[in-house]
């Protein structure tokens, strides 16, 4: 088998006509005979490109409103026969080889997205196109198949450079693309027909996989793939610097990006094991970074950090990467932002292993969530709603700033259940995650962890005399708003919060014991707000 195959005869039949005339001209210039069908033929002839009508090859007319055009013994044989083993038989049957198929299919997806009725959907199911594509792809040793208009320029360039031939490497690449194309096409048709029968089905395809160093643990293999035909995905991250990303790094990166994507001002999230241990929003990026780090300085070690705005050198200097004492340098795994200033990049590159990654969190517009289980799949809409109401249900009427209210829900929504967060607005207007507790089998433990974290952080920031520390804690905890991802089933969480000095609690409500919980708030002088929206995250 020759590496290069001279393209002497090409069959062109496309639904999307963009760019096809330019490719056809290049084929004609190399002496290639071009066979074509109705609509495509008209476009090419308008460009003065000589065309052989497909009916002259098949010996049959186009029939049934265009349903029958290319399907024939002559066409499929010209694509499928083995040029070495079957040459004599092909000669006897008067079958001339077709060396190239250029075909994109009826626009079923476009028609579906227009909410067309079943009759129109059926008419836009291509039969002859997939048959030609699959036949040519199966015989890639001798035939090239082009299904993507974005490949025309590359194909045209190779034809020019090789006097009208295509290499086996190109044909193999096109073959893979062709089978993916027809598989995706048939999958969409199948799921759409199920949808018309009110049956939910889902067919997923992922390609462009890259092997990772290992999976979640060193004895597991890991891979990172991209969903077929997706315009943009997490795999489109741009790694500017640092060592190879791991499975866990990528998982944490998703959580980090999600944590800042809905923040409107300058935001910073610090992620450890997919949970934000630090989160802040404000005007000054360096100060926001410091606030987020102060949320849990111990857990911030070895973390993944995300920003939602261009990162400056002043911001990253907080890491003290050039400190003489190694212990003064703040070790992190990854820093992600939509962009970095040039001097920020130069500063970060001092650490040879630190991954510096560009990714715009605003492009993370995920609509669905999936969890793969044993030979099964859980599928749901993404939790993109923050709250449905802001209803004060207690005698005490807490005045929670709208920005802080939204910030608290964003922080809590990202944590795994049972999730509790304590947030506050600082004197300069910045908002900070002061404490969090999550992943516990009961909500009481999460509340206790949150309070413990708040006290530890307040102790770190306190500069006064020891005897006045509790007064400082009392003053700060009164500013805190505590958020819960789900309802409080009992009043014990209210009692713990009140004991810690917290005056305001936000929760979705919906428990059969809501009245008892509200009554306890009224007894203790605690304000409570219902959001009407639960944010459980397993």
273 labelled catalytic: yes
The reported pLDDT for the residue numbered 456 is: 96
Report CA dihedral (216, 217, 222, 228) to the nearest 10 degrees. -10
Q: Which residue carries 């059926």 as its tokens? A: 122
Quote the CA–CA distance of 477 and 308 in Å, as a whole number.
28
For the chain, report the end-to-end CA distance as a whole number of angstroms: 55
In a shared domain, residues 448 and 339:
no
How long is the chain? 538
In a shared domain, residues 499 and 435:
yes
pTM of structure: 0.86
What are the pLDDT digits (tens) for 111-156?
Answer: 999 999 999 999 999 999 999 999 999 999 999 999 999 999 999 9
In a shared domain, residues 317 and 392:
no
In a shared domain, residues 354 and 376:
no
Q: Closest Cα to residue 50, out of 107, 4, 12?
A: 12
Q: What is the CATH number of the domain that holds 90?
A: 3.40.50.1380
Please state the φ and ψ torsions of residue 252, each to the nearest 5 degrees. -70, -35
Q: What is the mean pLDDT of the chain?
A: 94
Which of the four pLDDT bands, split at 50, 70 and 90, describes residue 303? very high
- Does residue 139 belong to any structural domain of this protein? yes
In a shared domain, residues 515 and 414:
yes
What are the pLDDT digits (tens) for 153-209?
Answer: 999 999 999 999 999 999 999 999 999 999 999 999 999 999 999 999 999 999 889
In a shared domain, residues 171 and 41:
yes
In a shared domain, residues 349 and 381:
no
Question: Count of CB atoms within 10 A of residue 98's CB?
Answer: 28
- Does residue 16 belong to any structural domain of this protein? yes
Look at residue 61 and tell me whether its pLDDT is greater than 90: no
In a shared domain, residues 242 and 359:
yes
In a shared domain, residues 269 and 399:
no
What are the pLDDT digits (tens) for 14-49?
Answer: 999 999 999 999 999 999 999 998 889 999 999 999
Please give the full DSSP string across 323-359, using - where no structure is assigned. -SSGGGS--EEEEEES-B-HHHHHHHTTSTT-EEEE-
- Does residue 303 belong to any structural domain of this protein? yes
The reported pLDDT for the residue numbered 437 is: 96
In a shared domain, residues 111 and 130:
yes
Q: How far is CA 530 from CA 161, 442, 507, in A?
A: 69, 20, 5
Residue at a domain's end among 363, 386, 419? 363
The reported pLDDT for the residue numbered 70 is: 87
Residue at a domain's end among 162, 196, 230? 196
Please report, rounded to a whole number, the percentage of residues in the chain having pLDDT higher than 90.
93
Structure tokens at 123: 């008419």
The reported pLDDT for the residue numbered 1 is: 46
Q: What is the CATH number of the domain that holds 488?
A: 3.40.140.20
- Does residue 201 belong to any structural domain of this protein? no
What are the pLDDT digits (tens) for 510-537?
Answer: 999 999 999 999 999 999 999 999 999 9
Look at residue 356 and tell me whether its pLDDT is greater than 60: yes
Range of the domain at 307: 238-363
With contact defined as beta carbons under 8 Å apart, do 168 and 3 qualify?
Answer: yes
The reported pLDDT for the residue numbered 2 is: 52
Name the catalytic one among 227, 273, 313, 330. 273
138 labelled catalytic: yes
Structure tokens at 327: 């212990």
- Does residue 228 belong to any structural domain of this protein? no
Coil, helix or strand for 464? coil
Question: Count of CB atoms within 10 A of residue 15's CB?
Answer: 16
Q: Which residue carries 């404000």 as its tokens? A: 282
Report CA dihedral (306, 411, 232, 346) to the nearest 10 degrees. -10
Who contacts 86 (Cβ-Cβ below 8 Å, separation ≥6)?
none
pLDDT (mean) for 386-415 = 96
Quote the CA–CA distance of 165 and 151 in Å, as a whole number.
15
The reported pLDDT for the residue numbered 231 is: 84
Name the catalytic one among 6, 17, 138, 241. 138
- Does residue 226 belong to any structural domain of this protein? no
In a shared domain, residues 297 and 384:
no
CB contact burial 441-464 (16+ within 10 A = b; e otherwise): eebbebbbbbbebbbebbeeeeee
- Does residue 354 belong to any structural domain of this protein? yes
Sign (positive or negative) of CA dihedral 59, 6, 178, 14: negative
Residue at a domain's end among 196, 220, 249? 196
Quote the CA–CA distance of 90 and 75 in Å, as a whole number.
12
In a shared domain, residues 270 and 176:
no
CB contact burial 408-433 (16+ within 10 A = b; e otherwise): bbbbbbbbbbbbbbbbbbeeeebbbb
The reported pLDDT for the residue numbered 259 is: 96
* Strands 368-373 vs 376-381: parallel, antiparallel or unpaired: antiparallel
pLDDT (mean) for 446-471 = 95
Q: Closest Cα to residue 182, out of 74, 103, 72, 99?
A: 103
- Does residue 351 belong to any structural domain of this protein? yes
Quote the CA–CA distance of 275 and 266 in Å, as a whole number.
19
Structural domain count of the chain: 3
Q: How far is CA 374 from CA 105, 371, 378, 430, in A?
A: 35, 10, 10, 45
Look at residue 381 and tell me whether its pLDDT is greater than 70: yes
């Amino acid at each position: 088998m020759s590496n290069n195959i001279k393209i002497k005869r090409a069959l062109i039949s496309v639904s999307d006509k963009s760019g096809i005339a330019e490719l056809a001209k290049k084929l004609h210039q190399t002496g290639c005979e071009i066979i074509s069908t109705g609509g495509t033929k008209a476009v090419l002839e308008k460009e003065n490109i000589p065309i052989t009508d497909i009916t002259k090859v098949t010996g049959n007319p186009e029939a049934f409103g265009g349903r029958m055009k290319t399907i024939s013994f002559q066409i499929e044989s010209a694509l499928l026969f083995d040029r070495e083993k079957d040459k004599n038989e092909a000669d006897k049957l008067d079958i001339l080889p077709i060396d190239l198929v250029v075909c994109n299919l009826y626009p079923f997806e476009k028609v579906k997205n227009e909410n067309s009725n079943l009759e129109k959907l059926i008419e836009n199911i291509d039969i002859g196109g997939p048959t030609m594509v699959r036949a040519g792809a199966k015989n890639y040793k001798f035939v090239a198949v082009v299904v993507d208009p974005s490949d025309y320029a590359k194909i045209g360039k190779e034809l020019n450079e090789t006097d009208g031939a295509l290499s086996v490497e190109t044909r193999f690449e096109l073959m893979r693309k062709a089978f993916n194309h027809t598989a995706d096409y048939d999958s969409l048709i199948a799921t759409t027909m199920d949808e018309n029968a009110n049956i939910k089905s889902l067919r997923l395809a992922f390609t462009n996989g890259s092997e990772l160093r290992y999976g979640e643990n060193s004895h597991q293999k890991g891979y990172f793939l991209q969903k077929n035909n997706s315009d943009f995905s997490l795999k489109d991250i741009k790694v500017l610097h640092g060592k190879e990303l791991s499975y866990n790094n990528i998982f944490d990166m998703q959580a980090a990006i999600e944590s800042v994507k809905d923040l409107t001002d300058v935001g910073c999230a610090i992620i450890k094991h997919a949970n934000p241990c630090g989160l802040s929003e404000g005007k000054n990026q360096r100060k926001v970074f410091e606030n987020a780090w102060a949320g849990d300085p111990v857990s911030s070690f070895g973390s993944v950090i995300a920003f939602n705005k261009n990162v400056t050198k002043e911001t990253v200097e907080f890491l003290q990467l050039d400190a003489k004492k190694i212990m003064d340098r703040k070790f992190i795994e990854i820093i992600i932002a939509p962009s970095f200033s040039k001097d920020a990049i130069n500063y970060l590159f001092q650490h040879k292993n630190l991954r510096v990654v560009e990714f715009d969190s605003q492009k993370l517009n995920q609509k669905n969530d999936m969890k793969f289980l044993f030979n099964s799949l859980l599928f749901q809409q993404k939790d993109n709603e923050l709250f449905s109401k802001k209803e004060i249900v207690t005698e005490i009427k807490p005045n929670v700033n709208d920005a802080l209210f939204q910030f608290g829900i964003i922080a809590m929504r990202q944590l795994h259940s049972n999730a509790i967060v304590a947030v506050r607005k600082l004197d300069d207007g910045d908002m900070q995650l002061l404490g969090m507790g999550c992943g516990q089998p009961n909500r009481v433990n999460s509340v206790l962890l949150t309070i413990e974290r708040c006290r530890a952080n307040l102790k770190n920031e306190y500069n006064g005399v020891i005897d006045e520390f509790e007064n400082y804690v009392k003053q700060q905890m009164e500013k805190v708003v505590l958020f819960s991802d789900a309802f409080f089933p009992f009043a014990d969480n209210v009692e713990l919060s009140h004991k810690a000095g917290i005056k305001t609690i936000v929760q979705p409500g919906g428990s059969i014991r809501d009245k008892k919980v509200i009554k306890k708030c009224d007894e203790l002088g605690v304000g409570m707000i219902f959001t009407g929206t639960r944010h459980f995250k397993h």
